[in-house]
Homo-oligomer: A and B are copies of this chain.
Amino acid sequence: MASLEPDSQPQPKPNPALALQAEILARPATDERRMADAIRALAIDAVEKAKSGHPGMPLGMADVATVLFSQFVKFDAADPRWPDRDRFVLSAGHGSMLLYSILHLTGQPGMTIDDIRHFRQLHSPAAGHPEFGEAPGIETTTGPLGQGIGNAVGMALAERLMAARFGKSLVDHRTWAICGDGCLQEGISHEAASLAGHLGLDKLTLLWDDNSVTIDGATDLSFTDDTLRRFQSYGWAVRRVDGHDTAEVAAALAWATRTPRPVLIACRTIIGFSAPKKAGTAASHGSPLGPEEAAAAKSALGWNHPPFEVPDGLRERWEAAGRRSAGTRRAWLKRLAKHPMKADFERAVAGRLPEAWHEALAALRAKTAEDRPKIASRIASQRALEALVPAVPEMVGGSADLTGSNNTNVKGIPSVTPENFAGRYVHYGVREHGMASAMNGMALHGGIIPYAGTFLVFADYMRPAIRLAALMRQRVIHVLTHDSIGLGEDGPTHQPVETLAGLRAIPNLFVFRPGDAMETAECWELAVKRADGPSVLALSRQNLTPYRTEAGENRCARGGYVVEEASGTRRATLIATGSEVSLALVARTALEAEGIPTAVVSLPCWELFAAQDAGYREAVLGDALRVGIEAAVSFGWDRWLGPEGLFIGMEGFGASGPAEELFRHFGLTAEAVTAAVKKRIG
């Protein structure tokens, strides 16, 4: 799915690209061609020095990228984080040297020639694939194919939402993305492009590196879509250009800026352009050209400078391109200074929550303590949203066509439609993967806190995007309802049993599974407050008996705590999450009645609990018999239970039937817990 290995053998094939390449090289060299050659030279040098990397795409797309960055992308190298800059996404992340070369040449901070010399080496910001956070100007982490398209759609949507909130004078920028054949083969490209077409995201332009080559060889080995026609079916405007004809590319990009629809431009290019033997073949995709071919490529370009050297004239041209929008930015700063919403805008972009949010939740928690509602945690989640969404204007919700089941919508909050981007609720459609990837893009854009729902079991459909949110440390909140066999009749395809474990394994993802309305409010508070990573809320379909009655401290903040202490020296500690906490409390009553002092521990967030000091964890879990109770497989529980512990949960997939019968059928009852404890401790 990404890099070609040095040791792989693309099948030998005749190479029609070479004649075309000769014709292109014979064209009079324009300024842009020279600037593009600077990208090419740096890409060749970096990959050769690293002895690893993907020269093919930067060599092929250098002309397109040069036109894009020297004439169209609005950015100021002096302030690469300027909020109203255009966003650029390199969805074909393996071509990272294209982006690094441009960041360096335009004079952006954080990408020195020395960094590029250390391409693909530890601690260099010039990593194998673009990694968000390594340098400004890297707007997102790409490499897993197709994700960049989803991110770009999310960024373009975020721009529309922010423009609707703050006005065109503060928010008026475009989103550009470069993708390859692989991105377009991925299913996520369908979900994201279909959503963008539906919403009419007219400031989004996707540049397809249409080079007819994939890793296995010619694309027609596996890929014969009429991609332009496909994108037309989504409501996109499309055009095809010679990706090596800078005038034609410029005309197409100008047309894109005038077109009131998302635009796909197929750029016919030669992969590995300038390499006399490997151009037009998979051999140039993912391995160094080799010293000989590299030298020959440079001389074919008439590039006779030492490695990593760019002549001053070209540097000046590129740096001028990097300063092109400096005046625009200064004018924008003036507008911002006098803007009535200046403070709100800066707060939203900085990701700081408004004052009101905490009071809103405190009020909800107080009311919850008073009412002690016996409701499903998905309903409690809706109540939390009814408090949060009005108080936090950055929050933008949605669902993958399960609004009524996920309870993600809030009364009075209008939907986002092609006509109304002042809405704050997105009907993402049955597009979990595109949704999650777009949410990543919205968070990366800044000024938006995206949350959206589907069923917990379908987290699998979004997993690659959830992983990237964790890797990029983005505040993205997934509301995942129907979190166990408790969903009942829909059966094993819809009943998560391994899903919690699968998510808990992902680094930097917080997985919350609250057990009653109060815990749900607390977990929402923690998820919204968390600025450096994504959160999942696993919520029940069925009603849950409340056990938390005090509205004081946020007890979920430590990840786990004692809900009910034993009446005497603990002989057993029942450790549960979510809907199984109230089951544990019933079992505790029975055990206590039989003279077995039993404590109940709620473990709503393993990641936070693991972050507590060992002393606290041991005090909570205790040294009596530990019994884990969760309507899921035991994978991962041994950490809390130890070798002597008991686990009461699922051994495999679920079944179709009424929820109560399923809990009985699979032995997830207070009686079963009580019996198991008594059997063990006699």
A94 cross-chain contacts in B, Cβ below 8 A: 490
Q: How far is the CA of A508 from the CA of B635 in the complex (A)?
A: 13
A489 to chain B, nearest CB (A): 4
Say whether A190 faces chain B, with CB atoms less than 8 Å apart.
yes
Q: How far is the CA of A121 from the CA of B662 in the complex (A)?
A: 10
Interface of A is mostly: loop
Binary interface encoding of chain A residues 568-591 relative to chain B, with 1 for a CB under 8 A from any of its CBs, else 0:
000000000000000000000000
One of A306-314, A459-467, A518-526 contacting the partner: A459-467
Judge whether B144 and A216 touch: CB under 8 Å: no
Say whether A652 faces chain B, with CB atoms less than 8 Å apart.
yes
Q: How far is the CA of A494 from the CA of B94 in the complex (A)?
A: 11
Binary interface encoding of chain A residues 383-419 relative to chain B, with 1 for a CB under 8 A from any of its CBs, else 0:
0000000000000000111111100000000010000
Judge whether B636 and A635 touch: CB under 8 Å: yes
Q: How far is the CA of A10 from the CA of B201 in the complex (A)?
A: 26
Judge whether B187 and A52 touch: CB under 8 Å: no
Judge whether A430 and B505 touch: CB under 8 Å: no
A431 cross-chain contacts in B, Cβ below 8 A: 185-187, 222
Q: Which of B122, B401, B501, B658 contacts A655 (CB 8 A)?
A: B122
Q: How far is the CA of A234 from the CA of B1 in the complex (A)?
A: 21
Q: Which of B1, B226, B415 contacts A455 (CB 8 A)?
A: B1
Known: A186-B191, A490-B3. A233 touches B225 (CB 8 A): yes
Binary interface encoding of chain A residues 487-507 relative to chain B, with 1 for a CB under 8 A from any of its CBs, else 0:
011111110011001101111
Q: How far is the CA of A228 from the CA of B218 in the complex (A)?
A: 27
A120 cross-chain contacts in B, Cβ below 8 A: 489, 491, 656-657
Counting chain B CB atoms within 10 Å of each CB, which of A7, A216, A467 scores highest?
A: A216
Q: List 13 A-B contacts (CB under 8 A).
A: A122-B661, A128-B490, A131-B493, A142-B493, A216-B403, A225-B233, A229-B232, A233-B233, A458-B464, A463-B463, A468-B493, A501-B502, A507-B653
Chain A interface residues (CB < 8 Å from chain B): 1-5, 7-10, 50, 52-53, 93-94, 120-124, 127-129, 131, 141-145, 181-183, 185-191, 194-195, 197-198, 214-216, 221-227, 229-230, 232-235, 399-405, 415, 427-434, 454-455, 457-458, 460-461, 463-464, 467-468, 470-471, 488-494, 497-498, 501-502, 504-508, 541, 633, 635-636, 638-639, 642-643, 651-653, 655-658, 661-662, 665
